[in-house]
Amino acid sequence: MNIVLHEPEIPFNTGAIGRTCVATKSTLHLIKPYGFILNDKNIKKAGMDYWPLLKLREYISYEEFMAGVEEERKIALPKVWYATTKAHKTHTEVSFSPNDYIVFGKESAGIPEEILVDNEEQCIRIPMLEEARSLNLSNSVAIILYEALRQQDFPFLSKEGALHHLQWKE
């Protein structure tokens, strides 16, 4: 899967999302400008020691990002989904494919309206109370990404854990 952050503003969110991408074998795509310096200590703090393992791609603009998607469409058929509170359908009403992109907007304003209007059929939302403006960006990424991976039966991911049976001394 591919997670795209369009002009992210908060370094802690980007770091946490990077960590989620590493844990799910997803690629993180960042579209400039950022509201921080990419090597910010807050990114490293949120991403912990996972950041060096991250598959990261950067773009100077949305247009450059879309040009890269068009190149990939010559090989695969990824869809580009747009996560927004303005969508008519929820993230559980669509079918995700392994190479799809899920675009998230900046924390203060979301994805620009002109992009959403041009891609209305690919817009998805997370259900929430009408009074709530939005969820935290890193939470939104995790919710939608894990739904996409659930639909694919969690490829590459470990689905079982193990308890370590400790013997307590009395």
Binding residue positions for S-adenosyl-L-methionine:
105, 126, 134
> Alpha-carbon distance 50 to 48, whole Å?
5
Residues annotated within the binding site are 105, 126, 134
Alpha-carbon distance of 51 to 120, in angstroms, equals 33
Contact partners, residue 14, CB within 8 Å, separation at least 6: 5, 8, 30, 34, 36, 43, 46
> Across-strand partners of 4?
29, 103
End-to-end CA distance of the chain: 49
